[in-house]
Amino acid sequence: MNTREDLQKIHSATLEVLSEVGVHVGCKYALNTFEKGGCHVDRETMTARIPGDIIEEAVKSSPSGFTLYGKTSDFDICLADGKVYHSPFGAAPQFEDPVTGEVRDPKKEDLANCAAVIDALDEYNFCFSTMTARDVDSNYCNIHSFEAHYTRCRKPILASCSRKWTVEYDIEMAAMERGGLDKLREKPPIMFGCCTISPLVIPVEACEVLMTAAENNIPVANMTMSTCGGQAPVTLAGSAIIANAENLAALVLTQLVRKGARYVCGGSPGISDMRHAAAAVVGCPEAGLLS
Q: 12: which residues sit within 8 A by CB, 6+ positions away?
A: none
How confident is the model at residue 284, as a pLDDT? 85
Q: What is the pLDDT of residue 217?
A: 97
pLDDT at 281: 77
| 106-123 burial code (b ≥16 CB/10 A, e <16) | bbbebbbbbbeebbeeee
Decide the pairing of beta strands 220-224 and 263-267. parallel
Number of Cβ within 10 Å of residue 82's Cβ equals 6
Residue 2, pLDDT score: 64
For residues 125 and 152, is the Cβ–Cβ distance under 8 A?
A: no
Alpha-carbon torsion 279, 139, 170, 153, what sign? negative
Rg for the chain (alpha carbons), in Å? 19
Q: Chunked in runs of 10, what are the mean pLDDT values of the chain (291 residues)? A: 84 98 97 98 97 98 97 96 92 92 96 96 95 93 94 95 93 96 97 96 97 97 92 93 97 98 93 83 84 82
Amino acid at 271: I
Helices 52-61 and 236-257 sit at what angle, rounded to 10 degrees?
Answer: 70
* Helix residue ranges per DSSP H, 64-179: 108-120, 141-150, 164-178
DSSP 100-120: T--EE---HHHHHHHHHHHHH
- Reference 219, options 274, 272, 176, 258; nearest CA is 258
Distance between CA atoms of residues 43 and 40, nearest Å: 10
Give CA–CA dist 265/177, Å, rounded.
28
What one-letter code names the amino acid at 64?
S
pLDDT of the residue at 112:
96
pTM strictly above 0.75: yes
Report how far residue 208's alpha carbon sits from residue 284's, in angstroms, rounded to the nearest whole number: 33
- Per-residue model confidence (pLDDT) at position 223: 94
